[in-house]
Every structure is written in C-alpha cells, then in structure tokens.
C-alpha cells in the first residue's frame, strides 16, 4: 500500500506556516476593524445556483473549476469558490437591507478545481472585505485604502503595485461592448476556443485572456476610456483624486476588466512579481448590479478578495514565538505538584512546556529543543520547602525560588 498523501492541490499547513497565516489574518482583522468593518462567516457550501447566477454560466469558474455535488435530497451544492456571492446571499436571506450601509469582512477556505501552481491550491484561503449600500465614489476610495493599509502593515508595500481601471457605468459598458465585439469579430479566425465562446456571452473577459494569440489581438483593441459617459469619467476622477489625496500610488491599466454585467466603475488589483510571474495578491471592484441580479433589492456594493497563501509567502521573517518555561519534575512525587505549578503559570498567561517522561537529563534536552527560556526543577527537597529550582537557560545560573514568588521571578526574566 502506498503512503497516504493529501489530495492533489491540497496540503497540510504545518505549525511554522500557520504562524505566517495567523500574522496575515490577525493583521487583516485589525485593519478591517479599524475601518469599521464587522466580521461575517458564511457556510462553506451553498446551493449551486448562488454561484452559477453570480459568476456566470460561461465563466471558467462555473464551467470548469467548481466542486459541485448532489446531496442525499438531490439538491445541487457547491463548495464556495469565492466569498462575495455567499455574502450577497446572506444579505438577502438575512434581511439586512435595513442595516445599510454595511461593512463586512471574513476569511476562510475556498475551493477551485484548477491546475495547482505556486501560491495557488485547490483548497485555498481567502480574505474578503465588502462595503454595501454606498453609491458614492468615496466607498471605492475607502475600500482600496483598506487594501493598501493591509499591504502596508504586512510590510510588503515595496513588493506590490496597485493597478486601477474604470469599467464605466451601464451606458459606457454597452457602448464599449458593441465596439469591442465588432473589433474582435474581425479576428475570429485567430481567437482561442475560449475567447470564441466568450465573444457573444462575455466579450470583456477576452481582454483578460492569457492565450498568446489572443494577447496579440487584444493589443490593438479599442479602450474603454474612449467610450465613457461624462458621468463615468467624473466618477473615476473622484476616485483617482481621492487616492492621490491619501498618498496611495497606482498605475492605470486599461486592460484590467471584470467580465460580468453587474460590475461597473472601479476595478483594481494589487499585483507582485516577487512570486515569479506577475501575480495578483488582492483584487476587487464595484458590483452595483450583483444583489439585484440575485433577486434582492438594487444595492450598490464594492469589495475585494485576497489570497492568504500568496500574502503569507510575501511577508518577511516573523518574530520568534514566545519562549516557554519548562517545568521538570524529578520523581513520581513531584509530578502532581509540577502539574499544579504549570497550570497556575498558564492561568497567569505564561507559555509552559512539560515533558511527561524520562530522567532529568532527557527532560532538560526537551527544554533546549523547545528553546525554553528557563527551567523549573522540582524534586523531593524542593517540595519540602515549597520551592523550585529556577535555572536560567541562557546564562546557566540557577537559584532556589519559593513557589509564592515564582511568577514575579519569571516575569523579571528578559
């Protein structure tokens, strides 16, 4: 029998890497709450319709990448491939329309059946921030600023570039779509199979194609900026002026798109080349038509998602974890007293390690292995005097300390 392995595209996140994950998520939580966002958790699977209706039947995610299955009642369920659709569904089914505006954030595992690559897995982890109920461009500025602040606090701002574009309003998109389809139709014989499939249903997605042949055609395609209404131009100007006022640098990228009709106005991505080929670590945009498309009331929204794996790969060395205090009982009689001392120290907030077997030499080796700051040695003699021997493992110095003074003495160690 071969060795048991995790399923392809999944992996175990071991303690050292989990520290990096926690650094990202705890920083994210602090930033989100600084910006007035409240945490939300949605189910890890939804009715398939939630994603099929919001991501588009012709999208790669729906047609190729979703983990979909039938439950025992014959209902079609899907493991969530992204967060926004579930939050929009929760907004509708949870009756939150009276609570607008809503600032929501969350994080957790997502699932997509795609080719595993560096920083991308079939079970991956994503953070999301969603601002619902604000139609003004100030919401776009605030949400982008929140993403920038996360990048800054993680210490990776010098490795990441903000790319920005406008998708215009509904009228702008309709105008541009007609011109784009006309241009692309003249090159149908050279388009990839995926792009041909999108030409009628989702032509803006072609601008995001990674196919080399498509890329050459796209170079000559008309730009959205040439077909914006005056209102759309003014909206985008307010966004860029607001980012300038906050000192948030950006690069305009007119090929940055979102193919689905409910997206409008601002689209943005924080990208890096520090992980090899250019990769996106945080991406978002305005989706004023999403909730209405799902059957809810017309509700403006803007948000972003970010991959925890990719951000955790970018952050530098973390501070060393807290060094534990090693409690070392000598002899059976000292075991119970040692457990009580360890318990009381943990209650006071200290990190304590106990070896459960072996002579004093083996237990001291364990203390060194876990990089303990100090060892508390407790034997029959110490028990008789209500004391322990406190050994400083950095200096080698040791002294007998009354148990009543132990917490104070340990607190004084640097």
Model confidence at 1, pLDDT cuts 50, 70, 90, reads: very low
Model confidence at 134, pLDDT cuts 50, 70, 90, reads: very high
For residue 234, pLDDT beyond 50: yes
Mean pLDDT confidence for 288-300? 93
Q: Identify the three-state secondary structure at position 322.
A: coil
Work out the mean pLDDT of the chain and round it to a whole number.
Answer: 90
Mean pLDDT confidence for 318-331? 89
Give CA 1 to chain center in angstroms. 37
Distance CA 292, CA 371 (A): 56
Tokens representing residue 116 in the block: 């595993």
For residue 202, pLDDT beyond 90: no
Of 45-49, 163-167, 288-292, 410-414, minimum mean pLDDT range: 410-414
For residue 232, pLDDT beyond 60: yes
Q: 264 exposed, middle or buried (CB, 10 Å; 0-12, 13-18, 19+)?
A: buried
> Can you list the domains of the chain with their CATH numbers?
15-169+229-314 (3.30.930.10), 325-411 (3.40.50.800)
Distance CA 204, CA 194 (A): 12
CA atoms within 13 Å, Cβ hemisphere of 270 = 26
Model pLDDT for residues 38-92, shown as the tens digit of each residue = 999 999 999 999 988 777 655 666 667 888 999 999 999 999 999 999 999 999 9
- The set of residues, in sequence order, having a beta carbon less than 8 Å from that of 317 and lying 6+ positions away, is none
- Write down how long the chain is: 414
Model pLDDT for residues 325-381, shown as the tens digit of each residue = 999 998 888 888 899 999 999 999 999 998 778 788 888 899 999 999 999 999 888
Give the 3-state secondary structure of 224-254: HHHHCCHHHHHHHHHHHHHHHHCCCCCEECC
Q: Identify the three-state secondary structure at position 311.
A: helix
Q: Which of 391, 402, 401, 405 lies closest to 360 in space, CA to CA?
A: 391
- 31 cis-preceded (ω within 30 degrees of 0): no
pTM for this entry: 0.88
410 vs 54, more confident = 410
Share of the chain above pLDDT 70, in %: 96
Q: Which of 393, 396, 355, 351 lies closest to 373 in space, CA to CA?
A: 393
Model pLDDT for residues 145-161, shown as the tens digit of each residue = 999 999 999 999 999 99
Give CA 331 to chain center in angstroms. 49
Predicted confidence at residue 384, as pLDDT, reads 87
Mean pLDDT confidence for 318-329? 90
Predicted confidence at residue 332, as pLDDT, reads 80
Distance CA 329, CA 410 (A): 18
Predicted confidence at residue 65, as pLDDT, reads 85
Model confidence at 320, pLDDT cuts 50, 70, 90, reads: confident
Query: Is-contact 325 117, C-beta < 8 A?
Result: no
Mean pLDDT confidence for 90-109? 95
Cross-strand partners of 305: 128, 283
Q: Which of 61, 57, 99 lies closest to 82 in space, CA to CA?
A: 61
């Amino acid at each position: 029998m071969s060795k048991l392995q995790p399923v392809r595209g999944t992996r175990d996140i071991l303690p050292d890497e989990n520290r990096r994950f926690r650094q990202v998520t705890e920083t994210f939580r602090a930033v989100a709450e600084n910006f007035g966002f409240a945490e939300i958790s949605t189910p890890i699977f939804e009715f398939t319709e939630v994603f099929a209706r919001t991501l588009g039947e012709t999208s790669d995610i729906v047609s190729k990448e979703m983990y979909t299955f039938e439950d025992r009642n014959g209902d079609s369920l899907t493991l969530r491939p992204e967060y926004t659709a579930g939050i929009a569904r929760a907004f509708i089914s949870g009756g939150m329309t009276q609570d607008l505006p809503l600032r929501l954030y969350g994080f957790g595992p997502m699932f997509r059946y795609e080719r595993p690559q560096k920083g991308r897995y079939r079970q991956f982890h994503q953070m999301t921030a969603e601002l619902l109920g604000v139609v003004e461009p100030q919401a776009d500025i605030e949400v982008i600023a929140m993403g920038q602040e996360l990048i800054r606090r993680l210490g990776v701002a010098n490795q990441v570039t903000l790319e920005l574009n406008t998708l215009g309003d509904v009228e702008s998109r309709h105008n541009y779509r007609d011109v784009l389809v006309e241009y692309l139709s003249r090159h149908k014989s050279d388009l990839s199979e995926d792009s041909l499939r999108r030409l009628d249903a989702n032509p803006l997605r072609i601008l995001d194609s990674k196919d080399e042949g498509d890329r050459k055609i796209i170079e000559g395609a008309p730009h959205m900026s040439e077909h914006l209404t005056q209102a759309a131009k003014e909206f985008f100007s307010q966004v860029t002026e607001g980012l300038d006022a906050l000192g948030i640098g950006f690069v305009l990228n007119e090929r940055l798109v979102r193919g689905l009709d409910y997206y409008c106005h601002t689209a943005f991505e924080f990208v890096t080349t520090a992980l090899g080929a250019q990769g996106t670590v945080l991406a978002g945009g305005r989706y004023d038509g999403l909730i209405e498309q799902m059957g809810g009331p017309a509700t403006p929204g803007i948000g972003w998602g970010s991959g925890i794996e990719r951000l955790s790969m970018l952050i530098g060395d973390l501070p060393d974890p807290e060094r534990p205090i090693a409690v070392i009982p000598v002899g059976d009689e000292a075991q119970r007293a040692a457990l009580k001392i360890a318990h009381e120290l943990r209650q006071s907030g200290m990190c304590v390690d106990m070896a459960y077997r072996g002579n004093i030499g083996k237990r001291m080796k364990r203390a060194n292995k876990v990089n303990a700051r100090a060892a508390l040695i407790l034997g029959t003699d110490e028990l008789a005097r209500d004391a322990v021997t406190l050994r400083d493992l950095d200096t080698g110095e040791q002294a007998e300390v009354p148990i009543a003074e132990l917490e104070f003495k340990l607190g004084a160690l640097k």
